[in-house]
Structure formats: structure tokens, C-alpha cells
């Protein structure tokens, strides 16, 4: 698949990993539709990307909203060939906290946004992709979801987050196998500690401390490095049903 001809939907696209991915697609010559709940930031991000991009306010945990947003993306771009799931929250808390047990409602919200949200966008985007004309390799589209190293080494307080990201990894292979008949590949990227808007709000000494925990390079990952990985996956037809860790060889400790 050629990124220059990509028709991409990027969730969480108004900032961070999602926006870096959108920038990469636009720079290559493709089109992008950003899905995000932050309308102000979404409008500002689209202004930076130019007239080959639009923003659609979307709560990925709402199935009907996703269906409508995917149809809007299809109409704007004349189809969809790439869907990148970057929308997510990292709400954390000890299951047995000082003020009692962690509410199941909060746990469920993390699951709904991170896992069910990724599923909602994946299935609706794939329903559009299956109608594409296949390329010479028989490909019609690519789906990339975002997990985390927490899917494998969740820390204390990350039960909900780790469960959601583990679910993203777990659903990938069955979807890749099911979508193979349509020429749609499904992959997952599992970032380590990256410079996201949430991380940027932390004190510089905290950022430096976290970066030094990474074997090499001893720094936080950069959003453009996530975008590089997404571009590699999109362009390589044999990368399918795979989770790619981009973490500088870090293995997270219990806390």
C-alpha cells in the first residue's frame, strides 16, 4: 500500500501519536480524517494539516457515533484504506485503595474507550475497506491499533488499562484471520514510554527520570517514531496479525 494514496481515519488524531500519524500521511500526499472528542484541538489540528484533512467529533465508545463518522470519512475521501486507532485514556488506580475498592464503572470506562472503541472503528472501517478495488497484492486496506507495553507488563494501578490493551492485542489475530479474505491486514503497535500530551504536562525532571529507565535510546519515544512504524506497517504487505513493540527494550517494573 502506498501512503501517497492513503485515505486514512485516525482516532485520537487531534494530538500526540494520532496527530503525528496524520502528519505523516499528509506529508506523503494522502488524505486524513481525524476522529477526536476535543473539538477545539481537532479544529486547530486540521488547520495545520490543510485541505486534505477534516475533523469529525467522535466518541469512539459510541457505536452509532462511529458509524456516522466513518460514513462522513468515506464521503470526504471517496473511501478508506487505512484506520489507525490512537484514541485512549490511561486512568489508573489501585484496586484496593485507601478509600476502598476501585469502582467497576471507572474500570468499564477504560475498557469501553480503549478496547471497545478500537473494535468499533476497526469493524466500521473494514466494512468500507472491503468495497475497495484490490491492488496488485490483493490488498484493500490496513487497520492499526495501539496497545501498550502495559499489555504485557502492567504496573500496580494499571489493571483496567492493561486489560484494555491486552484486549487490543488479543483481538488482533482473529480479526486479521477473518479479514484476510477481503485483503485487509490488521496489526498492533505497542509503544513504551512516549512523549504524549499527558507526558508533556509532567515536570521535566520526571520526564528525564522516565527516559533514563529505557535501555536504549535512554529517552522518551517521539510521536514521529510511532508514525514511522505505522507507515512501515502500511507499506509492507507481509506484516499482518502482528504486535510490534516500540519501547527501547524497556520491561516495566511493578511500580
Q: What's the pLDDT score for residue 197?
A: 81
234 classed as catalytic: no
Q: In the predicted model, what is the mean pLDDT of the chain? A: 96
- 150-186 per-position pLDDT tens digit: 999 999 999 999 999 999 999 999 999 999 999 999 9
Taking every pair of Cα atoms in the chain, the longest distance, rounded to a whole number of angstroms, is 59
Q: Residues, the chain, total?
A: 255
* The domain defined by 3-246 carries CATH number 1.10.645.10: no
d(Cα 156, Cα 191) in Å, to the nearest integer? 18
Within 10 Å of residue 89's Cβ, how many Cβ atoms?
Answer: 17
Q: Which phi and psi (to 5°) does residue 162 adopt?
A: -65, -40
Q: What's the pLDDT score for residue 205?
A: 82
Instruction: Cell numbers for 47, please give them.
Output: 488547520
pLDDT category, 201, cuts 50, 70, 90? confident
Is the backbone peptide bond immediately before 217 cis, with ω within 30 degrees of 0? yes
DSSP states along the chain? --GGG-EEEEETTTSHHHHHHHHHHHHHT-EEEEEES-HHHHHHHHHHH-TTEEEEE--TT-HHHHHHHHHHHHHHHTS-SEEEE---------SEETTEEPPHHHHHHHHIIIIIHHHHHHHHHHHHHTTSPP-TTS--EEEEEE--GGGTSPPTT-HHHHHHHHHHHHHHHHHHHHHGGGTEEEEEEEE-SB--HHHHTS-HHHHHHHHHTSSSS-S-B-HHHHHHHHHHHHH-TT--S-EEEESTT------
Q: What's the pLDDT score for residue 203?
A: 82
Q: Is 100 left (phi over 0), alpha (psi -120 to 50) or beta?
A: left
| Percent of all residues in the chain with a pLDDT value above 70, rounded to a whole number | 100
Is pLDDT above 90 for 210? no
- Say which of 119, 161, 226, 234 is annotated catalytic: 161
Amino acid at each position: 500500500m502506498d501512503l501517497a494514496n492513503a485515505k486514512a481515519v485516525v482516532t485520537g488524531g487531534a494530538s500526540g501519536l494520532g496527530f503525528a500519524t496524520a502528519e505523516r500521511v499528509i506529508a506523503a500526499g494522502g488524505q486524513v480524517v481525524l476522529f477526536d472528542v476535543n473539538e477545539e484541538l481537532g479544529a486547530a489540528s486540521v488547520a495545520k494539516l490543510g485541505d486534505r484533512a477534516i475533523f469529525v467529533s467522535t466518541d469512539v465508545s459510541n457505536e452509532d457515533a462511529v458509524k456516522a463518522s466513518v460514513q462522513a470519512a468515506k464521503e470526504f475521501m471517496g473511501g478508506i484504506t487505512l484506520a489507525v486507532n490512537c484514541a485512549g485514556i490511561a486512568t489508573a488506580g489501585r484496586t484496593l485503595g485507601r478509600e476502598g475498592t476501585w469502582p467497576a464503572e471507572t474500570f468499564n470506562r477504560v475498557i469501553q474507550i480503549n478496547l471497545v472503541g478500537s473494535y468499533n472503528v476497526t469493524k466500521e472501517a473494514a466494512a468500507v475497506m472491503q468495497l475497495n478495488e484490490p491492488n496488485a497484492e490483493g490488498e484493500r486496506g490496513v487497520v492499526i491499533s495501539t496497545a501498550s507495553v502495559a499489555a504485557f507488563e502492567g504496573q500496580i494501578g494499571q489493571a483496567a488499562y492493561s486489560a484494555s490493551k491486552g484486549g487490543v492485542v488479543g483481538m488482533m489475530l482473529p480479526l486479521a484471520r477473518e479479514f484476510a479474505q477481503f485483503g485487509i491486514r490488521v496489526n498492533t503497535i505497542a509503544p513504551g514510554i512516549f512523549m504524549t500530551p499527558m507526558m508533556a504536562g509532567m515536570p521535566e525532571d520526571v520526564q528525564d527520570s522516565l527516559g533514563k529507565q529505557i535501555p536504549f535510546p535512554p529517552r522518551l519515544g517521539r510521536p514521529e517514531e510511532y508514525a514511522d512504524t505505522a507507515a512501515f506497517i502500511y507499506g509492507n504487505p507481509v506484516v499482518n496479525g502482528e504486535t510490534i513493540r516500540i519501547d527501547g527494550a524497556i520491561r516495566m517494573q511493578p511500580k
